[in-house]
Structure 1
């Protein structure tokens, strides 16, 4: 009996034509036909509360509605001309629109935010161990290693006071073979990697060269550890954006700001008496960076490698940022405060009924549950964390030959001094003979 009464009530309830526009997650196509989304669910709840049936159809021109040449287009225009009774979409309540349609109480509030391409952040590869030093440093170290090893061979062979000159019967450890070609290279390789060594040079020239080499190795190891540590922490820090907000973009003029052509958001900027918003509106017009739809703007954000950003409604931007492939994010400060509402024909009396239904749905938590469903539960991407240009971030730069010239200069002086001492020791030995 109750089921029959409910069916009869539904059949006798008024039926309204609802004009809408596709806009994720508010109204979207559903597999198999029909529509789904936050506003579709909300309209269903409102219809149950008020007691009416409805038929959703998309706006003929696919626009929200703006006034131009004495004519309202989009959803607003269809409701004004009574081609539809209810407008369903993420439509901002403005003074101009309220003059021609009846807006309900707001079901959501939002601001303007920037939708940007996530900054690239590549993990260190196999070349991470080579990054702290520049190529010229590595080549210079290799040259120094070869030079010192060859000098040890020369000193070991020609210096009359070196181990090679010790008689076999007075050399139980075999030290006389410590500075041949193979042993000299082993000495410099082991010391530069802070390993032990078997014998130290016996002659004064060899010890001068060894001390110079040890000093050089000490400075190089300290410099490498310091640079590698900076690279390691820089790799773990947050990636940063080259700008902080709208003012930085307008001042530097290197990034385009996209906005939907004919939208209420741009008109808010244009009509604002705040200087930065007027500058942003002029900048968008000068760059002619308008897009015909949010979808087109999103494609340009993804395709312009950080040189194009979208200034758009925060709720829509939050939803897009939570969808795969997770390559965009919402960034910067919030601008303006805008309310979204359903709208009906002026004087139809339907506005008050929808207001009462929305108030009840807000009080019992239904609207909050629907927001959680379509924004939080539908999200597939982690929240992006980046630093702006004014935040402190750890940076790392390669050590260059100019920065580490002192250790190389000391080694060169030590090598020259070792050669001079070698010649002196040879002359001294001959004079004694």
Structure 2
């Protein structure tokens, strides 16, 4: 009895182990992985180029980066080992003089089995190599020199209004003060024309030259003045001046609040987009020579994109690689911009010396993928592994690991990278100025009417 129970227990353990082995084998087959002894694990040669943050040199031997981590996960799921070897010419791959260069060429000639890099899927490349499913997607964006930050300092109080508006306000102040002087001197119903026995407050000189300027200047601060005009002409002018001052002060306070909220600001860029750069002709646009970005602009059916490609050719502003283009943007002081892949641009914009940023709208959606020899059968296995890594969030976590530094603040700007504190121009205050002009004309007409009326009565 005891032996029967023991043998059954052993059968149960063996059965559980067999079921577990079968379940593991089934999962392996779903990923296209065959169960082989360690000695027969295939070792593939991987061609790559150095490109931050995809593939980078370690301090010692070996490589690190986003794609190295991805390839580690893929190799673990598929079941292979690999050796990374940098491409001989350091290029992604283009077709020239009847043959392919760069990584694409090495895979085509079967000098390597896998291509590892931020390589974009194109129709020409897809004819000669097998691309995997995309691991990331991106667009083309402008990398520009970050505008210099500046603090307005003591000029902060003058910035809310434009220079023309300040001069117009000063002219209006002088005009109104002189009109008050004229009304006070010639109007028979003003204070200085009133007999002393009928002027108990002693306001006979309320609107001389000094008093008129004091009245105008004090009302700017909404404080008023001890004496107000007595004549109808003076009151018409005072009312129109009060209305003008009210709207002007409100506009100034609103604009000052906007400038204050903007704080330390960036100088605006001299362009809004590629069209402004091409029309201006002063700023160079850089692209990688023989790169896919230039080919997309050159072969596009959109006239503006073709103009950009012609502009780059005319100025011969090509660069040999992305690193050279980024360095030129940093040293250009705003005279050179680079059209490049958005993911690479964002990576460099978030890291010291924090002198560049990604700006403007996106152009051309692109897919990044690994690639293998045509017909090798490795593509399907890598596709299954990448799909699993995307579904369980591994790709997303690795992307955050290598991209999000957060040292330099926002790296991407779709519009001008500043809180737009727009100065108030004279056009925006045209209505108060027009009302003041009408009030001044009406005050002069009333002044003449009061003079004629007084002489008629006499």
TM-score by length of 1: 0.71
- Residue aligning to 2:138: 110
Change (3 A) 1:187 1:67: closer
Change (3 A) 1:407 1:122: farther
Does 1:328 find its partner at 2:353? no
Rounded to whole Å, the distance in 2 between the matches of 1:68 and 1:250 is: 29
Secondary structure in 1 aligned to 2:133? coil
Secondary structure in 1 aligned to 2:410? coil
Does 1:218 find its partner at 2:246? no
Query: Of 58, 61, 73, which aligns to 2:86?
Result: 58
User: For residues 158-307 of structure 1, what are the structure 2 equivalents within 5 Å?
Assistant: 162=192, 165-167=195-197, 173-176=201-204, 178=206, 183-201=211-229, 204=231, 208-223=233-248, 225-226=250-251, 229=254, 257-271=285-299, 280-299=308-327, 301=329
Long gaps (5+) in structure 2: 1-36, 263-267
How big is the shift at 1:281?
A: 4.0
Rounded to whole Å, the distance in 2 between the matches of 1:93 and 1:178 is: 84
How big is the shift at 1:140?
A: 0.6
User: CA-to-partner distance for each residue in 1:336-362, whole Å, 9 max, x for gaps?
Assistant: x43322234456554454344334333
Change (3 A) 1:197 1:307: same
Secondary structure in 1 aligned to 2:287? strand
Rounded to whole Å, the distance in 2 between the matches of 1:184 and 1:109 is: 71
Change (3 A) 1:179 1:279: closer
How big is the shift at 1:261?
A: 1.0
Q: Is the 8 A contact 2:329 2:356 kept in 1?
A: no
How big is the shift at 1:32?
A: 5.3
- Residue aligning to 1:93: 121
Change (3 A) 1:224 1:172: closer
Rounded to whole Å, the distance in 2 between the matches of 1:18 and 1:44 is: 12
Counting matched residue pairs gives 409
Q: Is the 8 A contact 1:16 1:85 kept in 2?
A: yes
Rounded to whole Å, the distance in 2 between the matches of 1:97 and 1:36 is: 26
Rounded to whole Å, the distance in 2 between the matches of 1:199 and 1:274 is: 70
TM-score by length of 2: 0.68
Query: Of 426, 438, 445, which aligns to 1:399?
Result: 426
Q: Is the 8 A contact 1:231 1:396 kept in 2?
A: no
Rounded to whole Å, the distance in 2 between the matches of 1:243 and 1:129 is: 23
Change (3 A) 1:263 1:226: same
- Residue aligning to 2:29: none
| Aligned alpha-carbon RMSD (Å) | 4.8
Q: Is the 8 A contact 2:351 2:407 kept in 1?
A: yes
Does 1:360 find its partner at 2:391? no
Secondary structure in 2 aligned to 1:162? helix
Q: Is the 8 A contact 1:27 1:40 kept in 2?
A: yes
User: CA-to-partner distance for each residue in 1:65-85, whole Å, 9 max, x for gaps?
Assistant: 112223432222334445444
How big is the shift at 1:38?
A: 0.9
Secondary structure in 2 aligned to 1:259? strand
How big is the shift at 1:23?
A: 1.8
Change (3 A) 1:80 1:200: closer
Does 1:25 find its partner at 2:53? yes
Rounded to whole Å, the distance in 2 between the matches of 1:99 and 1:200 is: 89
- Residue aligning to 2:3: none
How big is the shift at 1:381?
A: 3.2
Q: Is the 8 A contact 1:17 1:84 kept in 2?
A: yes
Change (3 A) 1:230 1:402: closer
How big is the shift at 1:142?
A: 4.0
Q: Is the 8 A contact 2:44 2:80 kept in 1?
A: yes
